[in-house]
Structure formats: structure tokens, C-alpha cells
Amino acid sequence: MIEAYRSAFAALPGGKLPPWLPALRASGMSRFATTGPPSSRDEEWRFTPLGELGRKAYAAATAPERPLTRTAVEGQSFGHPEWPALVFVNGRFAPELSTVAPLGDGVVTSSLAEALARTPALVEPHLGRHAGPDATPFTALNAAFIQDGAFLHIPDGTVLAHPVLLLFLTTSDQGGRATHPRNLIVIGADARVSLVESYRGMDDAAAYFTNAVTEVVVGPRAWAEHTRIQRESGAASHIAFSDVSQAAQSHYRSFTLAMGAALSRHNLHTRLGAPGTEALLYGLSIAHREQLVDNHTAIDHLQPDCRSWEVYKAILDDRARGVFNGKVYVTPEAQKTDAKQTNRTLLLSEAARVDTKPQLEIFADDVKCTHGATVGYLDELPLFYTRSRGVPADRAKRLLTYAFAAEVLAEVTVDAVREELDKVVRERLGIREGA
């Protein structure tokens, strides 16, 4: 497996690259060759059996046999085709499907490949500096195969009127192939931006591998909302790492929806690196059949007077399996930290299973930190109450399940995004529009 990836690495096209990029790629390949894929012996991966993903080298994705049309991607734009959108098909930028217009002085929205060619000075200070090759074996593999992804550079004081969409689509002809999207988002001081990062398989039977890394840099007093949607093919594997670095008095708000892929894992790591910083993390996973969905979060409180709030929920049916591992780390310098972490899982069948591990590591004494996890089935009392009002048993169960999910869906602040996500969740739960 490792030799196959080495051969693919050696065959990467050269071309005109910034002089520092080959060294970053080489460090990624070296790291992955040393560690190999993680196994159940690794504490961070013991609840996430990789199966074929840990044994097989996936070939690089190719161009689609039939080019996608704008009609094929219209449903991904939340009903707002005027919003700026960078569309990637099988890991490569598709300008003909994208909507890129000037968004203000100094704003850069482009593919990473274009940014590396035209504005490498904007990329170099950040690419690989936050989510480095040593973060996980898969970030190392991603670094080795850095070629394309999204690049956003939002200058100081810029307020974007609309969300920016990053759409990653994989076509039905990519079975046995892999993409390694690399995204870099740099948000300047006092800027304000909403970002939607979406991964979608165009065929529910295609067995491919997505290995994505996103680095987000939030400047002083900046406000960022980051919505991440994973709706890959039901036979795909999706491994992702998001790293967020926050400056003084910045606000980062995250919402993660995971519904697709046979195997999915998302690591979200945010560092509150200056006083007065706030991070709000919300997540919803919905899995059925034999899906495995894993969310690992880490919030590092490094300085005083910072706040973090985290709520992750999961709905598991059939023989689905969920994993949640959330760590809040408070350094000795981070006095007056206010941190709360909650994980709740709803099991819809006796065969569904969850492994949950909320963690606090506190080395400061003037803090307010709490964490907790609950796992259970639908409460019989509200189910009985709903049925006593004439609602059929199956519909009552679906409505109460939706109510469980709606609490975190409500945290998405952009109306059009929240309404579309609500529609997607209702469809997945079998609830008709308006029910």
C-alpha cells in the first residue's frame, strides 16, 4: 500500500511550483510512509475500523467521463445561484460550473492551484502551518498530494454580503479512486464571512475516497460562520481534518452535518490563541444501515477570558455506529475560561451503537468547565402524548426524532442555509414538507 502511494507521489506533475511546496509535499509523504494508516492499536482510532481504507492505495481521481452541466449542480446552491461558489469535480476546480465575481478590494476567491501560481505569497504563511503533516496520517497523505482545493483571502474590515460556497462533487465513475482537497481560508481583522463547505457524491453506489483538509485562520475581532455538509456516496469513505486558528476577540461558529458515506470521520481542532476569543461548535450526524460516523473535536484554551460552547448530536438507526470524542484543553494561562461540552445520541434500533468520550483537561483553577453525554431511545411519555392526539405511531416517532435534531439545526444563522439543511434532514427522516 505505502509503495503504491510512493509511486503515485513520484508521478505527480511538476510544473512551475513555489519553491517551498515540494518540501511540504515531501514531508507529508515521508510522514505517511513512516506511520502508515492508523489502526485499532492507535488510541485516537480504536473505535474507527478503517477496513479496506487501511489496506488499499487508492488511485488518483480522474476527469469525469461525462462533464457535469450547471443543471446538475443547481441543487447545491441553496436556491441562490447568485452566491459566490467554487465548484470542484473529482478534486479539481471547475471554472465553468463556478460563480466567481469581484467581492471587494483585495478579496481573493480562487482555486488553490491558481493561488499557488499567481499569489504564492498569500498562501505560504499558512498552508500546512496549522494542519501539518504530523497531525494525523491522513493529513500527511493529504499534504503529499496537495494539488487543488479552495483558497479564500478576506482582507481586514471586509464584510461579505453572501455566503461563499465550496462545493466538492464526485462523479459515479470514480470507484476505487481518491481526491485530496486542500482548502485554505484566511480571514482578516474585523472581517465577517459565512462559508459553506459541501461534499456530495453524484451516485450513491460509487466506492471512492475523499481525504480533505481545511485550514481556517480567523483574524482579530473577525466573525466567521463555517457550515460543513458531508453527503457522500453511501459506499464512499470520507476522512477530513479542519483546523481553526483564532486571534484576539474573534468569533468562530461551526455547524457540521454528516449524513453520507459508509465510513466518515471529521476531526475539528480549534485553538483560542488570544484573550476574549469565542468558539461555538455544533454538529448533527444521521446514520443508518451499517454506516460509521465519527466526530473528533479538540478545543484548546490557550489564553484567558475565552469561551467555548459545543453541542453534538447523533441519530443512529439499523446497525449504524457513531463515535464522538471531544476534548477541551485548558492551559495554566487560560484563567477565567468558560467551556461547556455536550454530546447526545438517539438510538432508533437496538442494534445501533455509539462510543462517546467527552474529555476535559484543565490546568487552570479559575474556570467554569462542564461536559456530559447522554445515550438513549425515544422517551415513551412524549411518544404516548403524541399518539394520544391521533398521530400514527410511525409518524410520531419521526416527528420526535426531527425535534431532537432541530435544536442544533436552529444554530445556523443564515436563513437560506438553515432552511435547506432542515429540508434535507426532513427528507432523510421521512417527514413530508410541512409535516
Domain map of the chain by residue range?
A: 2-272, 292-377
Residue 404: enclosing H or E segment and its boundaries? helix 393-409
81: pLDDT confidence band, cut at 50, 70 and 90? confident
- Provide the pLDDT for residue 201: 95
3-state secondary structure 89-122: ECCEECHHHCECCCCCCCCEEEEHHHHHHHCHHH
Q: pTM for this one?
A: 0.95
- Provide the pLDDT for residue 312: 98
Integer Cα distance of 357 and 133 in angstroms: 25
Of 286, 284, 352, 354, which Cα lies nearest the Cα of 320? 352
Whether 219 contacts 245, CB under 8 Å: no
Angle value at C-alpha 398, between 395 and 268, nearest 5 degrees: 170
pLDDT in tens, 232-259: 999 999 999 999 999 999 999 999 999 9
CA 221 to chain centre: 23
As a whole number of angstroms, the longest Cα–Cα distance in the chain is 70
Residue type for position 101: A
With a CB cutoff of 8 Å and minimum separation 6, the contacts of 201 are 169, 170, 208, 231, 232, 233, 234, 236, 260
Query: In what side-by-side order are the strands of the sheet with 223-231?
Result: 92-93, 85-89, 164-170, 192-201, 223-231, 251-258, 278-287, 307-316, 338-347, 368-376
- Provide the pLDDT for residue 382: 78
With a CB cutoff of 8 Å and minimum separation 6, the contacts of 129 are 215
Q: Is the per-residue pLDDT at 390 higher than 80?
A: no
- Average the pLDDT over 32-38 and give the result: 95
433: pLDDT confidence band, cut at 50, 70 and 90? low
pLDDT in tens, 305-318: 999 999 999 999 99
The percent of residues above 90 in pLDDT, for the chain, comes to 85
With a CB cutoff of 8 Å and minimum separation 6, the contacts of 148 are 88, 91, 92, 93, 111, 112, 113, 181, 182
What does DSSP assign to residue 248? T
Residue type for position 217: V
347: pLDDT confidence band, cut at 50, 70 and 90? very high
CA 84 to chain centre: 20
* Locus of grid cell 461558489: 85
Q: Is the per-residue pLDDT at 85 higher than 60?
A: yes
The H-assigned helical ranges of 45-97 are: 70-73
- Average the pLDDT over 162-184 and give the result: 96
More confident call, 152 vs 435:
152
DSSP-derived 3-state class of residue 133: coil
Mean pLDDT of all residues belonging to the chain: 94
Q: Report the chain's terminal Cα–Cα distance, integer Å.
A: 50
Of 194, 172, 167, which Cα lies nearest the Cα of 183? 167
Look at strands 92-93 and 85-89 and give their pairing: antiparallel
Whether 255 contacts 229, CB under 8 Å: no
Burial class (CB in 10 A: 0-12, 13-18, 19+), 150: buried
Q: Is the per-residue pLDDT at 182 higher than 90?
A: yes
Sign of the C-alpha dihedral computed for residues 364, 44, 372 and 310 taken in this order = positive
